[in-house]
Amino acid sequence: LEDRADPEYVKALDKRISSIKTEGDGATIEGYSGNPTGTFAIPSEIEGHTVKKIADNAFSGQSGIKKLILPDSLEEIGSFAFSGCTSLRTVNIGKNLRIIGDNAFSGCFYLKKIDFPDSLEKIGASSFEGCHRIGKLIIPSGCTSFGEDAFLSCTELIFICGEDRCF
C-alpha cells in the first residue's frame, strides 16, 4: 500500500500531531489535536522520521474518521489507538504491520472492511470487540498470537480463515 498522503496534507497533519516520540530515525505518534473527518491517511514520515508506531490512545474517540489509511512504514498499533472511532468503516493497513494492540479498534461499530497484511504476527485482546459489521477476515499464516476476546461481539463475523486453517 502506498502512502497516499500528499505533501500539503502531511504539512497540515504535522501541525495537529500534538506529540511524537522519536528514536533513531523512527517515530511514534502519541497524540493528535485535530478532529479529522472522512478519509484520514497517516503519513509514512513526520518531521524527517519514519512513522513506525501509533501509541496507545493516540486517536481514540475520533468519531469523524470514516476511512483510515495506514502507511507501509507502520509496524505497530498501540492499545486503544483507534477505539471509539464510531464512524470508521474501512481500514487500509500497510504491508509491514506486525502488531495490533489490545482494544486497538474496539467500539468501532461500523467497521466493515479491514485487510491484514502478511506481516501481521499478533492481534491483541479485544482488538475488534464490538465491531459488529465485520463479515469476513483473512488471517495471515504468520499471525500466531490472538488475545482473549479479540473478536468479541462481532455479530456479523461469519468466519476467520488463514491459508491453511479456519477458526
The length of the chain in residues reads 167
Containing 159, the helix (H) or strand (E) segment is strand 159-161
More confident residue, 166 or 6: 166
Give this prediction's pTM: 0.87
Residue 167 pLDDT grade (very low, low, confident, very high; cuts 50, 70, 90): low
* Predicted confidence band of residue 164 (pLDDT cuts 50, 70, 90): low
- Distance in angstroms (rounded) separating the CA atoms of residues 33 and 157: 33
Render pLDDT for 108-140 as a digit per residue (tens, 0 to 9).
Answer: 999 999 999 999 999 999 999 999 999 888 888
Q: Which residues contact 167 (CB under 8 A, 6 or more apart)?
A: 139, 159, 160, 161
Residue 1 predicted with pLDDT over 70: no
Contact status, residue 94 vs residue 1, Cβ threshold 8 Å? yes
- On the question of pLDDT at 74 being above 90, the answer is yes
